[in-house]
Amino acid sequence: MSSAKGSNLILIGFMGSGKSSVARILAKESGHLWVDTDSLLELREGMSVAQIFEQHKEEGFRALERELAFQMRHSLQESIISTGGGMPLFCDLSSLGKLFFLDLPFEAILERLSKEERAKRPLLNDLSKAKALFNQRRSSYLHLANHTLQADQSPLKVAQEILSLL
Protein backbone atom coordinates (compact mmCIF):
# COMPACT_ATOMS: atom_id res chain seq x y z
CA MET A 1 0.00 0.00 0.00
CA SER A 2 1.27 3.53 -0.70
CA SER A 3 1.80 5.94 2.18
CA ALA A 4 -0.13 8.86 0.68
CA LYS A 5 -3.09 10.26 2.62
CA GLY A 6 -6.28 8.63 1.49
CA SER A 7 -4.48 5.31 1.33
CA ASN A 8 -6.63 3.66 3.98
CA LEU A 9 -8.59 0.54 3.28
CA ILE A 10 -12.23 0.97 4.21
CA LEU A 11 -14.80 -1.79 4.63
CA ILE A 12 -18.40 -0.84 4.02
CA GLY A 13 -21.63 -2.82 3.98
CA PHE A 14 -24.83 -3.59 5.82
CA MET A 15 -24.91 -4.56 9.49
CA GLY A 16 -23.69 -8.11 9.98
CA SER A 17 -21.91 -8.42 6.64
CA GLY A 18 -18.62 -9.28 8.36
CA LYS A 19 -16.75 -5.95 8.17
CA SER A 20 -15.13 -6.24 11.62
CA SER A 21 -14.10 -9.88 11.19
CA VAL A 22 -12.53 -9.19 7.80
CA ALA A 23 -10.84 -6.01 9.08
CA ARG A 24 -9.30 -7.90 12.02
CA ILE A 25 -7.73 -10.41 9.60
CA LEU A 26 -6.55 -7.70 7.20
CA ALA A 27 -4.87 -5.82 10.03
CA LYS A 28 -3.16 -8.98 11.25
CA GLU A 29 -1.99 -9.94 7.77
CA SER A 30 -0.75 -6.47 6.81
CA GLY A 31 0.50 -5.27 10.20
CA HIS A 32 -1.52 -2.06 9.78
CA LEU A 33 -3.66 -0.38 12.39
CA TRP A 34 -7.32 -1.45 12.61
CA VAL A 35 -9.91 1.16 13.44
CA ASP A 36 -13.54 0.13 14.01
CA THR A 37 -15.71 3.25 13.91
CA ASP A 38 -18.49 1.90 16.16
CA SER A 39 -15.99 0.72 18.80
CA LEU A 40 -14.17 4.04 18.69
CA LEU A 41 -17.40 6.01 19.14
CA GLU A 42 -18.47 3.74 22.00
CA LEU A 43 -15.14 4.26 23.70
CA ARG A 44 -15.26 8.01 23.27
CA GLU A 45 -18.84 8.41 24.40
CA GLY A 46 -18.53 5.86 27.18
CA MET A 47 -21.71 4.09 26.06
CA SER A 48 -22.89 1.51 23.56
CA VAL A 49 -24.21 2.36 20.10
CA ALA A 50 -27.70 1.40 21.30
CA GLN A 51 -27.38 3.84 24.23
CA ILE A 52 -26.14 6.60 21.89
CA PHE A 53 -29.22 6.05 19.71
CA GLU A 54 -31.41 6.14 22.81
CA GLN A 55 -29.93 9.32 24.23
CA HIS A 56 -29.10 11.30 21.10
CA LYS A 57 -31.36 9.67 18.49
CA GLU A 58 -30.02 8.58 15.12
CA GLU A 59 -29.27 12.22 14.22
CA GLY A 60 -26.87 12.56 17.13
CA PHE A 61 -25.14 9.31 16.19
CA ARG A 62 -24.69 10.49 12.60
CA ALA A 63 -23.19 13.77 13.82
CA LEU A 64 -20.64 11.77 15.84
CA GLU A 65 -19.87 9.65 12.76
CA ARG A 66 -19.34 12.77 10.64
CA GLU A 67 -17.01 14.27 13.23
CA LEU A 68 -15.06 11.02 13.35
CA ALA A 69 -14.82 10.85 9.54
CA PHE A 70 -13.38 14.38 9.53
CA GLN A 71 -10.82 13.49 12.20
CA MET A 72 -9.84 10.26 10.45
CA ARG A 73 -9.22 12.18 7.22
CA HIS A 74 -6.62 14.25 9.04
CA SER A 75 -5.00 11.58 11.13
CA LEU A 76 -5.11 8.14 9.50
CA GLN A 77 -3.12 6.62 6.73
CA GLU A 78 -2.51 3.02 5.77
CA SER A 79 -5.10 1.89 8.28
CA ILE A 80 -7.82 -0.71 7.98
CA ILE A 81 -11.15 0.88 8.82
CA SER A 82 -14.35 -1.08 9.48
CA THR A 83 -17.32 1.26 9.37
CA GLY A 84 -20.81 1.28 10.83
CA GLY A 85 -23.33 0.25 8.17
CA GLY A 86 -24.74 3.74 7.69
CA MET A 87 -21.48 5.65 7.73
CA PRO A 88 -20.71 5.76 3.98
CA LEU A 89 -24.24 7.06 3.36
CA PHE A 90 -23.95 9.89 5.84
CA CYS A 91 -20.25 10.80 5.52
CA ASP A 92 -17.96 11.29 2.57
CA LEU A 93 -15.39 8.53 2.93
CA SER A 94 -14.03 8.58 -0.61
CA SER A 95 -11.12 10.90 0.21
CA LEU A 96 -10.12 8.67 3.11
CA GLY A 97 -9.16 5.67 1.00
CA LYS A 98 -10.42 2.78 -1.09
CA LEU A 99 -13.89 1.47 -0.32
CA PHE A 100 -14.56 -2.28 -0.30
CA PHE A 101 -18.20 -3.34 -0.16
CA LEU A 102 -18.98 -6.67 1.53
CA ASP A 103 -22.09 -7.82 -0.28
CA LEU A 104 -24.33 -10.38 1.40
CA PRO A 105 -28.08 -11.09 0.98
CA PHE A 106 -30.37 -9.83 3.73
CA GLU A 107 -31.49 -13.35 4.65
CA ALA A 108 -27.87 -14.49 5.10
CA ILE A 109 -27.21 -11.50 7.32
CA LEU A 110 -30.13 -12.40 9.58
CA GLU A 111 -28.93 -16.00 9.80
CA ARG A 112 -25.47 -14.85 10.84
CA LEU A 113 -26.53 -12.51 13.61
CA SER A 114 -27.35 -13.96 17.01
CA LYS A 115 -30.19 -12.49 19.08
CA GLU A 116 -27.60 -10.60 21.16
CA GLU A 117 -25.90 -9.22 18.05
CA ARG A 118 -29.24 -8.04 16.69
CA ALA A 119 -30.13 -6.36 19.98
CA LYS A 120 -26.98 -4.22 19.74
CA ARG A 121 -28.30 -2.70 16.50
CA PRO A 122 -31.31 -0.40 16.92
CA LEU A 123 -32.00 -0.32 13.17
CA LEU A 124 -32.66 -4.07 13.20
CA ASN A 125 -35.48 -3.82 15.75
CA ASP A 126 -38.12 -3.79 13.05
CA LEU A 127 -37.22 -6.41 10.46
CA SER A 128 -39.49 -5.19 7.67
CA LYS A 129 -38.05 -1.68 8.01
CA ALA A 130 -34.54 -3.18 8.11
CA LYS A 131 -35.23 -5.12 4.89
CA ALA A 132 -36.40 -1.92 3.18
CA LEU A 133 -33.31 -0.12 4.45
CA PHE A 134 -31.14 -2.93 3.09
CA ASN A 135 -32.71 -2.70 -0.37
CA GLN A 136 -32.36 1.04 -0.43
CA ARG A 137 -28.75 1.01 0.77
CA ARG A 138 -27.40 -1.81 -1.35
CA SER A 139 -27.46 0.26 -4.54
CA SER A 140 -25.66 3.08 -2.74
CA TYR A 141 -22.97 0.73 -1.47
CA LEU A 142 -22.50 -0.64 -5.00
CA HIS A 143 -22.27 2.87 -6.36
CA LEU A 144 -19.82 4.13 -3.72
CA ALA A 145 -17.47 1.15 -3.58
CA ASN A 146 -14.22 0.85 -5.48
CA HIS A 147 -14.57 -2.93 -5.19
CA THR A 148 -17.44 -5.27 -4.31
CA LEU A 149 -16.73 -8.61 -2.63
CA GLN A 150 -19.10 -11.54 -2.29
CA ALA A 151 -19.22 -11.90 1.49
CA ASP A 152 -20.98 -15.31 1.61
CA GLN A 153 -17.61 -16.96 2.25
CA SER A 154 -15.31 -17.07 5.25
CA PRO A 155 -13.86 -13.76 6.51
CA LEU A 156 -10.41 -15.16 5.72
CA LYS A 157 -11.34 -15.74 2.06
CA VAL A 158 -12.83 -12.24 1.80
CA ALA A 159 -9.68 -10.74 3.36
CA GLN A 160 -7.45 -12.68 0.97
CA GLU A 161 -9.50 -11.48 -1.97
CA ILE A 162 -9.11 -7.88 -0.81
CA LEU A 163 -5.36 -8.30 -0.40
CA SER A 164 -5.12 -9.70 -3.91
CA LEU A 165 -6.77 -6.55 -5.24
CA LEU A 166 -4.19 -4.17 -3.74
In angstroms, the Cα distances linking 5 to 12, 80, 99 are: 19, 13, 14
Q: Could you tell me the smallest distance in angstroms from the CB atom of residue 154 to ligand S3P?
A: 18
Residue 60 or 146 with smaller CB distance to ligand S3P: 60
Confirm or deny that 36 is annotated as ligand binding: no
Q: Could you tell me the smallest distance in angstroms from the CB atom of residue 156 to ligand S3P?
A: 19
CB-based burial, 110-142: b 16+ in 10 Å, e otherwise: eeebeeeebeebbbbeeeeebeebbeebbeebe
Q: How far apart are CA 14 and CA 103, in angstroms?
A: 8
Q: Could you tell me the smallest distance in angstroms from the CB atom of residue 2 to ligand S3P?
A: 27
Confirm or deny that 154 is annotated as ligand binding: no
Binding site for ligand S3P (CB under 6 A): 15, 38, 49, 84-86, 121-123
Residue 84 or 155 with smaller CB distance to ligand S3P: 84
Confirm or deny that 118 is annotated as ligand binding: no
Distant-in-sequence, close-in-space partners of 44: CB < 8 Å, separation ≥ 6? 64
Annotated binding site for ATP, which residues?
16-21, 121
